[in-house]
Structure 1
Amino acid sequence: MTHRISEPLTTPEDDALLQFEGTSPYEDYVHASVLSSLQQPLTDAPEEMAFLVTTQVMELWFRLIVHEWRTARDALLKDDYDAAMDALRRSLSSHRALNESWAPIAKLTPLQFNGFRAAFGQASGFQSAMYRHMEFLLGDKSEAMTRPHRGHPVVYAELCESLAQPSLYDEVLGYLHRQGLPVPEHLLERPPATRYEPHPEVEEAWRRVYAGPRHDPLVALGEALTDIAELVQRWRTDHVLVVRRAMGAKTGSGGSSGVLWLEQRAARPVFPELWSARGQV
Structure 2
Amino acid sequence: MSYDPSDDGARMSFQGRMSYGDYLHLDKILTAQHPLSQAHDEMLFIVQHQTSELWMKLALHELNAARAAIASGNLQPAFKMLTRVARIMEQLNSAWDVLRTMTPSEYTEFRESLGESSGFQSWQYRMIEFVAGNRNIEMLRPHEHREALVASLRAEIARPSLYDVVLSHLRACGFDIPPRERLDRPHLPDPAARAAWASIYRDPVRWWELYELAEKLVDFEDYFRRWRFNHVTTVERIIGFKRGSGGTSGVNYLRRMLDVVLFADLWELRTEL
Corresponding residue number in structure 2 for 1:151: 145
Contact map agreement 1:142 1:163 (CA 8 A) in 2 = no
Instruction: With the length of structure 2 as denominator, give the TM-score of the two structures.
Output: 0.94
Is residue 212 of structure 1 aligned with residue 203 of structure 2? yes
Shift in alpha-carbon separation, 1:278–1:151, aligned structure 2, 3 A: same
* Correspondent of 1:11 among 4, 22, 26: 4
CA distance in structure 2 between the partners assigned to 1:255 and 1:86 by the alignment: 38
CA distance in structure 2 between the partners assigned to 1:58 and 1:9 by the alignment: 39
Q: Percent identity?
A: 36
Is residue 195 of structure 1 aligned with residue 186 of structure 2? yes
Tell me the number of residue pairs that the alignment of Structure 1 and Structure 2 aligns: 271
Instruction: With the length of structure 1 as denominator, give the TM-score of the two structures.
Output: 0.91
Structure having the higher Rg: 1
Corresponding residue number in structure 1 for 2:135: 141
* Correspondent of 2:82 among 61, 68, 88: 88
- Runs of 4+ aligned residues of structure 1 deviating over 4 Å after TM superposition are none
Is residue 123 of structure 1 aligned with residue 117 of structure 2? yes
Corresponding residue number in structure 1 for 2:229: 237
Corresponding residue number in structure 1 for 2:107: 113
Q: State the Cα distance separating 1:182 from its structure 2 match.
A: 2.8
Is residue 170 of structure 1 aligned with residue 161 of structure 2? no
Equivalent residue letter for 2:53 = E
Q: Deviations over 1:221-268 (max 9, x none)?
A: 111111011001000000000000000111111111100111111111
Q: Which runs of 5+ in 2 are unaligned?
A: none
CA distance in structure 2 between the partners assigned to 1:153 and 1:23 by the alignment: 38
Q: State the Cα distance separating 1:92 from its structure 2 match.
A: 1.9
What does 1:221-232 correspond to in 2, within 5 Å?
221-232=213-224
Equivalent residue letter for 1:43 = S
Contact map agreement 1:50 1:105 (CA 8 A) in 2 = yes
Please tell me the root mean square deviation across aligned C-alpha atoms, in Å.
Answer: 1.7
Q: State the Cα distance separating 1:90 from its structure 2 match.
A: 1.9
Equivalent residue letter for 1:11 = D
